[in-house]
Structure 1
Amino acid sequence: MKKVVLFKSESEDYEQAFLKYKYSTVFVEPLQFELMRSGELADSLLREYSGLVLTSPRAVEAVAKCWDPTRFAIWNSRKVYTVGDASSHKIKLLLGLDARGVSSGNAENLANTIVRENPANSKFLFPCGNLRSETLPTILESSHISIDALTVYETKENDNLKEDLMKVNDLHRPCCMVFFSPSGCEYIHRQLQTFSNRLTELPHFAIGNSTACKIENLGIEVAGVAAKPKADSLVESIHKYFMSVQAT
């Protein structure tokens, strides 16, 4: 059974999706997060906004930290946008709200969905991380939709990343590596330069286009990109690659 390294937190959904294609998985979390500015976020949630934009599970967790269903009942009738199943699930579980834009796939598509569904002069609250992309705010503002970005968590390199990478290199023989964020790519690439390893020669796959661009910017070829940011799409991309290699 081929083994795949997934640079993300452990996920039963991903593990099961890969098992269907007879791949085993090794999870390595390259990032760690620190929530911040809960008081300021709570105050912002009481202001007049057309809606809320939450583009990562961490942003949802930051909102959940200060969430009070009674105090913030106004959000039951306001729009909440997100991208991806993981964030959507957390919004429902932790906030009790239904999210739109789940299947948009990336920030650009999500921004276009928001523009399409809301009039000019709408105003959105955007709790986000310190490494956020400017894609979504730029598209919204160009369509005269204002967005208040509030940094509510900080992304850092996992303190154990080098040790975890060395363990994977010494104990496993993976067939490829999968990257889930531009920042994760950078931290992993930097650590792999610090010790002799076989990992750098493996095919590199990305969960989405922004992550793929980061891999390419590091001078590494991208073997494949998931058509959608979902486990099944990712496995299909990897399986298709190895089937084509096997056929040549």
Structure 2
Amino acid sequence: MFNKTPLLGENVIFTGILRSSEASILVERLGGNAVIAPMIATKEIVSPDDLDKLQRCNLYEWLIFTSQSSVKAFHSKMVKYQLDASFFTAKIAVVGSKTANAIEKLGLSVHFNPTIFSADIFVQEFPKIASLTDHCLFVKGNLAKDTITAGLNNEVDEWTIYETVELEENKEFVKKLLKSEESCSIIFTSPSTAEVFHRSIGAFHGYDHVTVCAIGHITKSFLEAKKVSVQVMPDTYTLIDVIVKLAEWKGRVQ
């Protein structure tokens, strides 16, 4: 008999930035307690030359976005300078369905999204649809790795459009929850969130009494490099899929 509430009594801790409530609602529907405790937050970087940078976007064949945070900051600048989607002529490449949805909500079209939502797969597949002479602009956060820039043979410029800050209050909350010895699953959406958690909490508390969930093989590899066992990783790199996979891992009961 299938257990309709496989997450009953489980605290499912979201350590990444939650842009929608879909995943947390699913946790609750499956009997769990969704704990929204992002380790990091993002802040738009505002510069006097933002308008010039927006206008220069049309000098590129491709604009590349790998996160919803970069799209959000880009949109903020569009609104500030009263530019709509019709102004931009470059094609748009993204990583991930949520990033794609965020772009489309601005009225822009997505022209490329890798089959697996990861930057290392992006650099493998992008050359199949882009010309080597295409000039690209990578719109990114301050902690973004150089996978896109170093991995493509195209000329790639970078625009660091937002910065990441750590949320101390959420660290303290999660520490207390883990010390309570209640049943917990922790979801890591990126190496950045995993790094902050590990440095602040995991390295001292350990992971023996928690279920570790990772979105993406890069996040999983980062955790495993820290000697952390990952129990749950979905084939499709989304929050909904990791919740489904976690529910399956918690098991079917007779």
Q: Give the TM-score of the pair, scaled to structure 2.
A: 0.82
Distance 1:215 1:112, change over 3 A: same
Structure 1: distance between partners of 2:156 and 2:200: 36
Equivalent AA in structure 1 for residue 16 of structure 2: K
Task: Provide structure 2 residue ranges, at least 5 long, that are not aligned to the other structure.
Answer: 1-7
Aligned to 1:162: 171
Structure 1: distance between partners of 2:239 and 2:189: 11
Aligned to 1:66: 77
Aligned to 2:138: 126
Structure 2: distance between partners of 1:103 and 1:22: 33
SS at match of 1:125: strand
Following superposition, the deviation at residue 29 of structure 1 comes to 0.7
CA contact (8 A) 2:114 2:126 kept: no
SS at match of 1:227: coil
Deviates more, 1:160-169 or 1:126-135: 160-169
Distance 1:224 1:243, change over 3 A: same
CA contact (8 A) 2:14 2:187 kept: yes
CA contact (8 A) 2:114 2:125 kept: no
CA contact (8 A) 1:41 1:150 kept: no
Sequence identity, in percent? 22
- Aligned runs of 1:33-182 on 2, under 5 Å? 33-47=42-56, 48-67=59-78, 68=81, 70=83, 73-75=86-88, 77-93=89-105, 95-102=106-113, 104=115, 105-141=117-153, 145-169=154-178, 173-182=182-191
Equivalent AA in structure 1 for residue 73 of structure 2: A
Structure 2: distance between partners of 1:32 and 1:126: 20
Residues 178-228 of structure 1: per-residue CA shift (max 9 Å, x gap): 111111111111222687x58653121101111111111222111121211
Following superposition, the deviation at residue 54 of structure 1 comes to 0.8
CA contact (8 A) 2:15 2:189 kept: yes
Q: What RMSD over aligned residues (CA atoms) do the two structures have, in Å?
A: 2.7
1:234 aligned to which of 236, 239, 242: 242
Structure 2: distance between partners of 1:111 and 1:184: 23
Residues 25-65 of structure 1: per-residue CA shift (max 9 Å, x gap): 21211002222144434322322100210111111122112
Following superposition, the deviation at residue 19 of structure 1 comes to 4.1
Q: Give the TM-score of the pair, scaled to structure 1.
A: 0.84
Structure 2: distance between partners of 1:109 and 1:101: 12
**Greater relative contact order (Cα < 8 A, sep 6+):** 2
2:209 aligned to which of 201, 208, 213: 201
Question: Normalized per residue, which structure has more helix?
Answer: 1
Residues 154-186 of structure 1: per-residue CA shift (max 9 Å, x gap): 212113133221342356723321111111111
Equivalent AA in structure 2 for residue 175 of structure 1: C
